[in-house]
Amino acid sequence: MGQMIELVSTSISGLYQLKPKLIKDERGYFFRYYCKKELKGVCKGTEFVQGNQTLTRAKGAVRGLHFQKPPHAEDKLVRCLAGRVFDVAVDLRTGSSTFLSWFGCELNSEAHNMLYIPRGFAHGFQTLEENCTMLYLHSEYYSSDSEAGVHINDSRLKISWPLPVSQLSDRDQTFGPLTDDFGGLAV
């Protein structure tokens, strides 16, 4: 079968879009969502230990920007199973040449594309239509003590959300902007 997952570099080191090769026939299609062997250069020994799924009903809703602080910082592999979302990853890594830069792309159920987000990034998404389902693989277990976030409209980040924000959870509303003395995450 050869290489089943195409890796597409982004403007931020270590952050990749993944585009699976679809094998189609009269029954439908098959594609490989994850292959440790094919992604070993990207994932660098990452073992995914937890999977989560979300359904977001309202168009324009935002979930994020979430991350876990060390020692529970996590790599994520995210995919949109239904609908379309604008997916965002923000580089919070101490010493990174792209510190506080963000990358956004559309993930959708038609393209089957994914985003590999290494530890040290905040992550969030905005739904571009109603009833969007997202699947996440995590390299660390959830830790409430390590849970953190950044407000989606942080003026230092200047994220260009494609739609007016229609919903934001109470928890996500409580996240503040990054402070001036924020030096990043040492991961």
142 noted as active-site residue: no
Given a contact cutoff of 8 angstroms between Cβ atoms, the answer to whether 67 and 123 are in contact is yes
**Of 16, 66, 138, 141, catalytic:** 66
Q: Count the alpha carbons within 13 Å of 147 in the hemisphere toward its beta carbon.
A: 10
Given a contact cutoff of 8 angstroms between Cβ atoms, the answer to whether 146 and 71 are in contact is yes
Question: Which whole-number Å values give the CA distances from 159 to 90, 101, 114, 155, in the listed order?
Answer: 9, 9, 20, 8
116 noted as active-site residue: no
The two structure tokens encoding residue 92:
């919070």
Reduced to 3 states (helix: H, G, I; strand: E, B; else coil), residue 172 is helix
Q: What is the DSSP string of 21-88?
A: PPEEETTEEE--S--TTTTHHHHTT----EEEEEEE-STT-EEEEEEE-TTS---EEEEEEESEEEEE
**Of 34, 72, 112, 136, catalytic:** 136
Q: Which of the residues are catalytic?
A: 66, 136
